[in-house]
Amino acid sequence: MSNRQNCDSGCLSPLELYERVTTQGDKVRSLKTAEAPKDEIDTAVKLLLSLKLMYKATTGQDYKAGSPPTDFTPINNAPAITEDDDFVDPWTVQTSSAKGVDYDKLIVRFGSSKIDKELINRIERVTGQKPHHFLRRGIFFSHRDMNQILDAYENKKPFYLYTGRGPSSEAMHVGHLIPFIFTKWLQEVFDIPLVIQLTDDEKYLWKDLTVERAYEYTIENAKDIIACGFDINKTFIFSDLDYLGMSPGFYKNIVKIQKHVTFNQVKGIFGFTDSDCIGKISFPAIQAAPSFSSTFPQIFKGKEDIQCLIPCAIDQDPYFRMTRDVAPRLGYPKPALLHSVFFPALQGAQTKMSASDPNSSIFLADTPKQIKTKINKHAFSGGKDTIEEHRKYGGNCDVDVSYMYLTFFLEDDDKLEQLKQAYTSGALLTGELKKALIETLQPLIAAHQERRKQVTNEMQALAQALIEEDHGE
């Protein structure tokens, strides 16, 4: 099945299209009032007409000023299947290519924007900081409205960060750290509040887990997340199972979102069917709510208009497309987003990793020896079969998992480039490239484990303090 033919509007949602038509209509009017040159007016009118056509093609209705679309099936939001059969939704990521998912196609399909050199330069200019290597290397590759966030920062307007994790097992692997490492950097650079949602409710609904077990996973995962070193005074980490029942601000936003999203819409966005339990069907409202500042009155003092920036893996985008769709109807700003690529499994970039297969990645609790053995035994190699051939033809970094992991974790640009060149030319053998990865990951994970050990008490205190404060509201 291919949905690409439905995507000629750049995958804008009906509401986004509606807004574009409205803005373009305003533009045409003001050009006419200002008696602008005829060709300028003509171009603007042409664009207006084609936007109206797209609106009709998407919603089946004519555009009517003043009445935004309410009930529709957002065909453009259906799970992303590209021509080459990449499949991406919040639960499944599949591609047939050893290089991994085609991210440029995903940008077109999802209607997001590429994080290009210009944006990276602007981030550098505005913050005065060298952009994180996740930005420089295209690991965070796509965004929505990041320029708005930079405008806010320049104008000293407040905004905040929101990210999260679904705790599906006790063990987190290095890939799970990617959004958190990047979020920590963003918090440092912008010096802003951060909320972290642990969706143990989501995992209970989707997996074969008891509520109690899901909550235990939350507690263990929270330690790993806190060990990333966020600003304790500006970070609120919470479990849905724990916190939702005691936060009126949160619940009010959940029902507001629920009232403004139809079953048709979530079916279109998430592929739910009539036999999915109603918990799943209403869950997207719970992941959407933290995108609005009024969800956290204890942090934002009741302010409703503080914009949110969400760093996440691209598979989470459907939740936030839905969120951005409802935001204007609730009178809230749309959250901005920064999307990351998927972290490849040791066996190759074809699939997202599974936390239930211990050999599919390096786990945060692995010993130095386990790290070494796993990489040597399981990391898919882009090298040639024999040393002679390898020396002659060189290795292929595009499919080599050890090299891919190094792009995530080896910060030194020069060293990474040297490794790439040596491997590609055949001067460096697979075993030597693997050794470089082992030597990068072992100290990194040891340091993480050390920080995690110190977390326990601090974490309890932090979670407790913020929840008590909320009680006082």
Site residues (CB under 6 A) for ligand TRP?
Answer: 162-166, 197, 199, 202, 287, 310, 312, 316
Name the phi and psi angles at 329, rounded to 5.
Answer: -70, -20
Question: Considering beta carbons, is residue 281 or 419 the nearer one to ligand TRP?
Answer: 281
Region at 163 (left for phi over 0; alpha for psi -120 to 50; beta for the rest)? beta
Closest contact distance (angstroms) between CB of 220 and ligand TRP is: 15
In this structure, are residues 269 and 77 in contact, taking their beta carbons and an 8 Å threshold?
Answer: yes
Question: Considering beta carbons, is residue 239 or 440 the nearer one to ligand TRP?
Answer: 239
Closest contact distance (angstroms) between CB of 292 and ligand TRP is: 13
Closest contact distance (angstroms) between CB of 464 and ligand TRP is: 22
Question: Considering beta carbons, is residue 149 or 433 the nearer one to ligand TRP?
Answer: 149
Question: Considering beta carbons, is residue 182 or 380 the nearer one to ligand TRP?
Answer: 182
In this structure, are residues 188 and 229 in contact, taking their beta carbons and an 8 Å threshold?
Answer: no
Closest contact distance (angstroms) between CB of 310 and ligand TRP is: 5
Question: Considering beta carbons, is residue 270 or 423 the nearer one to ligand TRP?
Answer: 270
Distance CA 281, CA 270 (A): 9
Closest contact distance (angstroms) between CB of 239 and ligand TRP is: 11
The CA-based dihedral angle spanning residues 414, 416, 420, 426, taken in that order and rounded to the nearest 10 degrees: 90
Grouping H, G, I as helix, E, B as strand and the rest as coil, residue 399 is coil
Closest contact distance (angstroms) between CB of 163 and ligand TRP is: 4
The secondary structure of 173-220 as a DSSP string is BGGGHHHHHHHHHHHHHHT--EEEEE-HHHHHHHSS--HHHHHHHHHH
Question: Considering beta carbons, is residue 164 or 426 the nearer one to ligand TRP?
Answer: 164
The secondary structure of 59-116 as a DSSP string is HSS---TT----S---GGGS-EE-TT--EESSS-EE-S-TT---HHHHHHHHT-EE--
